[in-house]
A and B are shown apart, each in its own frame.
Chain A
Amino acid sequence: MSESNWKLWEVFLRSKNGLSHKHVGSLHAADADMAIKNARDVYTRRSEGISIWVVPSEEITASAPDEKDPLFTPSDDKVYRHPTFYDIPDDVEHM
């Protein structure tokens, strides 16, 4: 049975030019061509996309949820990275 079990692909769609591809789900296919065709049938029945990316799920490296703190909290205390940190008088325009 495992021989007949096609591998899993993640599907990304670009809904129109000017926007990025966005993850929409996954599907099974024997190879990349079939993954594209299946993605067309499963995820774009109502003109949801003009471009499809498929990536074997096993090829995606994800950050681990328990690394969330070491990865992302360092930016939390760097408020000076945001424009609202700076006091500029209202009289100064276009800034």
Chain B
Amino acid sequence: MGTNVSLEDKFQAYVDAENKVEPKDWMPEKYRRTLIRQISQHAHSEIIGMQPEANWITRAPSLRAKLILLAKVQDEAGHGLYLYSAAETLGEPREKMIADLQSGKAKYSSIFNYPTPSWADMGTIGWLVDGAAIQNQVMLTRTSYGPYARAMVKICKEESFHQRQGYEIVMKLAQGTPEQRSMAQESLNRWWWPSLMMFGPSDDNSPNSEQSMQWKIKRKSNDTLRQEFIDKTVPQAEYLGLTIPDADLKWNPERGHYDFGEIDWSEFYEVIKGNGPCNKERIAHHKKAHEDGAWVREAANAYAKKQSARKAKDTPAA
């Protein structure tokens, strides 16, 4: 009987024993597909996430602010690249991932389909959006797939700067003139609910979650992560004297958590379907940047070919 263990069962036992899966190990095809989908989606989010912030680089209010924002946007590019490289270890070519993003087949976090009309949004994104991302990513440092876990460790170290610089921006505004204060509040009003939606549908509407938890790709459910984020963030808002736009938000001593209001899931699904405020703009910009860079890629290829031909000529045949 004992010899009758399927590869899937062996894999599950291996993962249950807290072992990491590495690229060349056997894995169920669905595990591979799930990871490719999740990691590439995560990579796309980092890359598309550069756009709403890049919007303010030329208009940052000081040289200090501009340097920080540039460094942050460059980090997001780096995070995208670590993640693409992790997804490629599963056999998915980079150009296919890019093509899937541009065709709309692959998704990215819906939060990046919201606009950034004010400087305060640079603060709120760092504080809330990166804060929510950290909540998710800290969990993913312990994900069962080795290359993904390692990418997450590096990303988490860098994200902490992102959140702190964001909070600092909001803090300066919240402690500033009445106009600056209302800029901060108005920005919080716009980003609060979309930030909560970043954790994905509630547990009873999240069909892939159970399998992902079983394979230890995820270790906490969407609702658990969302609750942890709210519990951490409410005191941070109180410190700033800003009001979270949720009338139902209050501490529940019995649960030991904050209770909060109903999330408008119809908005979430509309944005995912492509009907958010900036979906079309984000993809159009990505395509344009990609196409505008085509000559650079061609030139680099031509140069590399010429160099290697020259090298071959200069090296005497053995």
Give the interface of A toward B (CB within 8 A). Answer: 1-6, 8, 24-28, 30-31, 34, 41-43, 45-46, 62, 64-65
Contact = CB atoms under 8 A, between A and B. Distances in A.
5 closest A-B pairs by beta carbon, nearest first, are: A31-B304, A30-B300, A30-B304, A26-B85, A4-B297
A5 B78 contact: no
B93 A5 contact: yes
Given A25-B151, A27-B85, A1 B95 contact: yes
A46 B81 contact: no
Interface string B284-309: 00000000001001101101100110
Nearest to A45: B78
Interface of B: 22, 24-26, 71, 74-75, 78, 81-82, 85-86, 88-89, 93-95, 147, 150-151, 154, 158, 294, 297-298, 300-301, 303-304, 307-308
Contacts of B25: 65
A65 B146 CA distance: 15
Given A5-B93, A5-B95, A25-B82, 15 more contacts: A1-B95, A6-B297, A25-B86, A26-B85, A26-B88, A26-B89, A28-B94, A30-B297, A30-B303, A31-B300, A31-B308, A34-B300, A34-B304, A43-B78, A45-B75
Contacts, number: 57
B74 A45 contact: yes
Contacts of A34: 300, 304
Contacts of A43: 78
Contact of B158 (A3, A46, A65): A46
Contact of A65 (B24, B82, B150): B24
Given A8-B88, A26-B88, A30-B301, A41 B24 contact: no
Nearest to A8: B88
Nearest to A28: B94
Contacts of A28: 94
A3 B82 CA distance: 23
Nearest to A62: B24
B41 to A, nearest CB: 19
B24 A4 contact: no
B300 A6 contact: yes
A1 B147 CA distance: 27
A85 to B, nearest CB: 27
Contacts of B86: 25
A23 to B, nearest CB: 9
B82 A42 contact: yes
Contacts of B307: 31
